[in-house]
Structure 1
Amino acid sequence: MTFTQIPEQYTALGSGAIYVVESPEAADIDLRLVASDGTTCLGMRRYVGVREARCDAAPLLRRALRFEPADDETGFTPAAGRTVTATAEAAPAGSFPDRAEATAPARIFLAGPAGPAEPALRTTMPAERIIPAGAGEEISITMPEFGSVAAAVTVRSGDRTEFHRYEASSAGLFLFRLDLKDFPDAEEVTLDFGTMGTIHYTVVPARSESCRLAWRSSIGSVEHYTFPVVREVRLRTEKNRAENRRGYVARIGGQERLTRIESAYEAPGVLAALAEITSSPAVWRVTDGGCIPVDVTTEEATLRRLGELCSLSLEIREKIETEATWS
């Protein structure tokens, strides 16, 4: 058996990852994907009575991706969990795990659709942004080939300007993390990534009643936005009731907090990026103590209304741990 086609290095899993293995004669073929540790099986397919087995490995590999918002200090940081390294093995049906007749070279795979062939910022949010004081967020960067990238950070506060420079050498996917706790007096921050682009932040005072969300975007990045208005907070309690000789008793089955939030009036480009929250597979509420997974119950977002400014309203819910007892 021989692999006649394998994916390119840093293939984006939103575009498919095709492996083709050929056999000299018709046979039953097992093809499996193995993680970088050499033992964990990420998925396997069996092909019966074929000379050529063709497998799109993307659906199997996407399950191995793990997304969590970065919480490092300002600077470049690895994109842990957001790529998956795997190799493909082929053998006659039933031969695994003892032997593989053909093995493809290891490949690193990225989330989302295919990106440009040159280094690029991977984000759905616009270049002009507003960020609360003390908040943080991240910028995803793709490097199809090994090379170096620099970020020139300009911090303005009143009549004072600071300049900082950060460098990294890598290939594939990595992150640049901005943490305004490192620049407590900042009024404006500019991130200059050279030919890849520039992102400018206007820093506004933090509001205790606002709600900051992070979410996985359609292109495999984690975006952030602070919703300045909290319209409503409700607490929902699940109860199982019973009746005995002394009256009614209730067992608390669970509690969840439902919060309705609203964005500022935003341009269509910002609203389009925020609308992805309704379909994102992973959304978090960002707090001082960390990121809390939430469920977005809103299923529809209005992006444009003739003659009117538009904002986006969402409802999120989060589980509250309770001790289920009869009372």
Structure 2
Amino acid sequence: MVLPKIEVEASSQNYGHFVVSPLESGYGITLGNALRRVLLSSLPGAAVTSLRVSGIHHEFSAIPHVREDMTRLILNVKQIRLRAQGEEPVRIHVEVSSEGPITAGDLSCPPEVEIVNKDQYLLTADSNDVDIDIEMVVGVGRGYSPAEERGRLPLGEIPVDAIYSPIRKAAYRVERTRIGQQTDYDKLHLEIWTDGTISPDDALRRAGNLLVQHLTLLAGAETIIVEKHEEVAEGIPTRVFDAPIEELELTVRAYNCLKRAGITKVGEILKRMEKGEDEMLAIRNFGKKSLDELVDRLREKNYLTVPGVDLSAYIGDAYQPLTESDGSDEE
């Protein structure tokens, strides 16, 4: 099975476009759909769950000396995006005692709470006679929690629909891609929009970890066991060792010879080549001409100089390729 790589096409604090390729046919939809669902429903976040305005006991009330009524204030409060540490509810507040606009940045917060969109508009006091205290409760959760789930609250504390999810939108699409002579691989495009409380790449990592945790339970394993190749332990970087031979874009003849010999990864080729040319030429129907082609492809990819393996015999004048006068010993 070919192992994919992840490339970042675009990245900012609120948007990320990731490409996962190559994937075996069908895996694009499988991974894309699973990641999208986890991103939208399962990542934790913080939100205001209720608020209290001094002197106000109902969500449809007007607020003295304030342009907005309670309904409009609640709508504005729901747009506040926060980061919160810990699981316990935390209270934040602001005192309004003079004319002018109030934004989320005016709220007093304990150290464990951080407001991301400090410019979020809340209300405007239209008189210096205003004297109100606004207190909000910040909770931590997942997804969306309607106000009805708050249950009984103290008199004057009004429940608020809580949008915990830090993900605004997630979308994916799958297209075909080509590796060597094969054209039936998938390329997964995954786009993530966040509210700024989490970066898209961090969101993708967390979603992947959640999937791994659940799949590990299905596999009957208590812990995640990462199997390491002996060759990797000897020093070849994992990204090089696990690279599929399709990346080398060999001719059909050379590619098929390696496949029939059970060689599917670049690392396996490098370890064989380290033992000498004869090790490669011992592969059925794989002759000097195919070896020359392989060396050229590895040189183009800078694989002949990776740490953990000595391939100096194939670099510069140390390696003598087949010439036309030599003829061909394989074709």
Name which structure has the greater RCO, CA cutoff 8 Å, separation 6+.
2
Which structure's CA Rg is the greater one?
2
Q: Going by fraction, where is strand more abundant, 1 or 2?
A: 1
TM-score normalised over the length of structure 2? 0.21
Q: Going by fraction, where is helix more abundant, 1 or 2?
A: 2
TM-score normalised over the length of structure 1? 0.21
